[in-house]
Amino acid sequence: MHSKRLLSFISICTSLLFSITSFAQDQLPTDYLTKEFHKGRRDAARALMPDNSVMVVFAAPTRNYANDVDYNYHQNPDLYYFTGYKEPDAVLFLFKEKQKGSNGEEFNELFFVRPKNEMAERWTGKRLGETGAKEKLGISNVESYAKFASYNFDLTPFAKVLLYTPNDIPAPSAKDTASQTGGLLTQLLQLKQSTKKDAPASNNKIDTKTYEVLTGYLRSVKTPEEMALLRKAVEISCQGQTEVMKAIRPNMSELEIQGLHEYIHKRYGAESVGYGSIVGSGANGCILHYVENTKTKIGNDMILMDVGAEYHGYTADVTRTIPADGKFSAEERAIYQIVYDAQEAAFKTLKNGSTWSAASTAARSTIAQGLMKLGIIKEEKEVRQYFPHGLGHHIGLDVHDRGPYDTLRKDMVITIEPGIYIPPNSKCDKKWWGIAVRIEDDALIRENDYELLSRYAPRSIDDIEKMIAEKSVLDNYNLPPLPSATKKAF
């Protein structure tokens, strides 16, 4: 009787545990890139690789934040693109031609991953391990990263080893060095040494240029699977911009505005931001990569908000510049309109087969003419004083994604981001000092035109002022003061 009850109890617990596990798994996102996508990218790379070559892609290293705490891990985008693997301590070997193993088996890829470790996983999370990598990533030839340093495979017959950032090759420990007899790590380190200027050209097998060109060619043109994720990242970023416009108040701090953006991103499922959020009011907006965001009250200044959500690895890049008090002043309106017109001029050039230089020339000329008309500059060549950066860049797995800057091709996704920045003490009438405007949008290149992916965030002066006048769901989100703020000093 007791045995039957015990068996029944065990059966119930097992069913309950299975249900809880299934429920937990059901709560994970279901729109990650598939293993078929990653295999397709490996096949596409292999087709472009030169004969008798091997591509080597390392996982990104972990980075220490403070003492025994690391930064949140972010994978090398190339390794993620080719495998979907999200953990450190990994390296992928992708071979142009089929290779033969010691047992006669053929393979065209070899992947080293972190082994399972029950104790480590209790502290830092689950690992795929070799079996998991085979099953979930669809890579058949997988080994433990612990075997990588001394793995017996000869790289000398290959004409080229395609490798990016050779400095990321980990240095071997004394124990590893003593035990190696031509292992993979030793060979890669020797090849790295051969790339030095005084090494014979015939010994230079590491080819970083081909690696960059090949991966840039692939990653710059987005597949439908990638576009689904990138669209979502852009739409989330636009939602953040729109909601902050409605919630903006002069008594807010830059940090609070950053927090509102990133809170909205996370409400929509974005895991992170693709770069440090830039929220600069007044003259702070003149600092191109201002990330301190420490001004405690933005007042009636314009505020430049360059914030992009990262969704499943894909990063948007959307910038809006708005008046904190809801209305552009005459000077702010004049500068903003020039930047807006410059962006429109660049947009008109975009299509398959157009060039980056055509878009840049159109935008830069518009800004120069506008600034001369206002008397801020006297000659067109002076425009770089107030528009000091490029017009845009590719976006994708990196916010400045890898890709060529010559001819635009269908299904590229790029930013167009003209700007005017007039720091205090500039050589112009002081009424312009401290005005900074950047408008940045994300565009998908099509056959005969483009699609403005970030059209959901208002861009024009009238549309921005109308949006600021609307009520926000965050208007009544008031927190009580901290206890220490209400206590008297002693």
Residues 338 and 417 in one domain: yes
Rounded to whole angstroms, the Cα distance separating 428 from 306 reads: 26
327 residue type, one letter:
K
pLDDT in tens, 12-67: 444 443 343 344 456 889 999 999 999 999 999 999 999 999 999 999 999 999 99
pLDDT of residue 198: 54
- pTM for this entry: 0.90
Whether residue 10 is contained in a domain is answered as: no
pLDDT in tens, 416-426: 999 999 999 99
Residues 244 and 380 in one domain: yes
Structural domain boundaries, residue 227: 222-469
pLDDT of residue 199: 54
Nearest to 31 by CA among 231, 219, 216, 222: 231
Residues 329 and 284 in one domain: yes
Are 196 and 204 in contact by the 8 Å Cβ rule? The answer is no
What is the 3-state composition of the chain as percent helix, strand, coil, each rounded to the nearest 5?
40, 20, 40
Q: Domain ends where: 188, 217, 246?
A: 217
At residue 105, the 3 state secondary structure works out as coil
Of the candidate ranges 7-16, 347-356, 388-397, 412-421, the one whose mean pLDDT is the lowest: 7-16
| Paired tokens of 401 | 């994604």
Taking residue 251's Cβ as centre, other Cβ atoms within 10 Å add up to 10
pLDDT in tens, 432-478: 999 999 999 999 999 999 999 999 999 999 999 999 999 998 888 88
Q: In this structure, what CATH number is given to the domain that contains residue 97? A: 3.40.350.10
Are 291 and 250 in contact by the 8 Å Cβ rule? The answer is no
Quickly tell me which residue has 């043109």 as its tokens: 221
Counting residues of the chain whose pLDDT is more than 90, the rounded percentage is: 79
Phi/psi of residue 115, nearest 5 degrees: -75, 160
The count of structural domains within the chain is 2
Mean pLDDT of 119-123: 94
Residues 351 and 331 in one domain: yes
The answer on pLDDT for 11 being more than 80 is: no
pLDDT of residue 200: 53
Whether residue 7 is contained in a domain is answered as: no
Whether residue 56 is contained in a domain is answered as: yes
For residues 170 and 449, the model is more confident at: 449
Residues 210 and 246 in one domain: no
Residues 212 and 229 in one domain: no
Q: In this structure, what CATH number is given to the domain that contains residue 375? A: 3.90.230.10
Q: Domain ends where: 176, 198, 217?
A: 217
pLDDT of residue 391: 98
| Paired tokens of 262 | 């990133």
DSSP string, 243-277: HHHHH--TT--HHHHHHHHHHHHHHTT--EESS--
Residues 229 and 378 in one domain: yes
206 residue type, one letter:
I
Residues 188 and 261 in one domain: no
Whether residue 6 is contained in a domain is answered as: no
Whether residue 191 is contained in a domain is answered as: yes
Residues 229 and 302 in one domain: yes
Rounded to whole angstroms, the Cα distance separating 92 from 223 reads: 22
Residues 207 and 301 in one domain: no
Mean pLDDT of 279-307: 97
pLDDT of residue 168: 60
For residues 359 and 7, the model is more confident at: 359
pLDDT of residue 357: 98
Rounded to whole angstroms, the Cα distance separating 365 from 362 reads: 5
Q: Domain ends where: 154, 189, 217?
A: 217
Whether residue 175 is contained in a domain is answered as: yes
Taking residue 217's Cβ as centre, other Cβ atoms within 10 Å add up to 16
Residues 279 and 164 in one domain: no
For the four alpha carbons of 262, 265, 271 and 275, in that order, the dihedral sign comes to: negative
Whether residue 485 is contained in a domain is answered as: no
Whether residue 19 is contained in a domain is answered as: no
Nearest to 442 by CA among 314, 354, 322: 314
Residues 183 and 295 in one domain: no
The answer on pLDDT for 10 being more than 60 is: no
- The Cα diameter of the chain in Å comes to 99
Q: Which residues pair with 394 in a beta bridge?
A: 414
Rounded to whole angstroms, the Cα distance separating 271 from 227 reads: 17
Total residues found in the chain within this entry: 490
